[in-house]
Amino acid sequence: MWASVELPAWARPLSAPTAGPPERSSAFPTTPSGLPNVERGRRLFHTVGCAVCHGIDGAGGVRNPNYVRDTIPALDRLAERMLLFEKADVQTVIEGLARHDLPDTLPQSGLPRWPVVRAQYESLRNLIWNGNPAGKRDPRGPEPIPMPAWKDRLSSEDVDDILAFLLSRSL
């Protein structure tokens, strides 16, 4: 079972990521949007440990031995994954994530494919909360590094902010 896999120390997420207000850091470039939820999501992404596996700003490139996809997936194309091809649509979703009412307000958002956008949002949120085993290339080979579960560490607001940050990569 993947859950019993002991991750190397560098791959283990830090605990208690949300204690206290985030401090301003100049280590990462600012986003074009400059929105508070995007900035908070950027900080969470880099402080809780996502960037260790998914790369700085979700750029990817981290090797995952015996994983079907070779490297841990990049997360800088989530807008396309949510079928958001126009910057204005990405902005609409980021604003819904800032209010933390995206699923309820999408039907009135005017987005052409809002049911798919909502389904993708829910599946990404569940994947982040529940984690996922990483498929093995060679079934007899070693267990690849899995996607850890974050439901005890990230609130729904935290996940919204992280997704807002990742979506802002497409603005």
Binding site for ligand HEC (CB under 6 A): 7, 11, 13, 48-50, 52-54, 64, 72-73, 75, 124, 127-128, 132, 134-135, 145-148, 150, 154, 162
Minimum gap (Å) between residue 51 Cβ and ligand HEC: 8
Compare residues 59 and 127 and give the one whose CB is closer to ligand HEC: 127
Question: Measured on CA atoms in the order 152, 12, 48, 92, is the torsion positive or negative?
Answer: negative
Compare residues 82 and 112 and give the one whose CB is closer to ligand HEC: 82
Compare residues 6 and 108 and give the one whose CB is closer to ligand HEC: 6
Minimum gap (Å) between residue 135 Cβ and ligand HEC: 6
Compare residues 6 and 23 and give the one whose CB is closer to ligand HEC: 6
For residue 19, the 8-state DSSP code is: S
Minimum gap (Å) between residue 88 Cβ and ligand HEC: 23
Under 8 Å between Cβ of 54 and 128: no
Under 8 Å between Cβ of 71 and 63: yes
Distance of CA 167 to the CA centre of its chain: 9
- Picking from 34, 22, 158, 149, the residue whose alpha carbon sits closest to that of residue 97 is 158
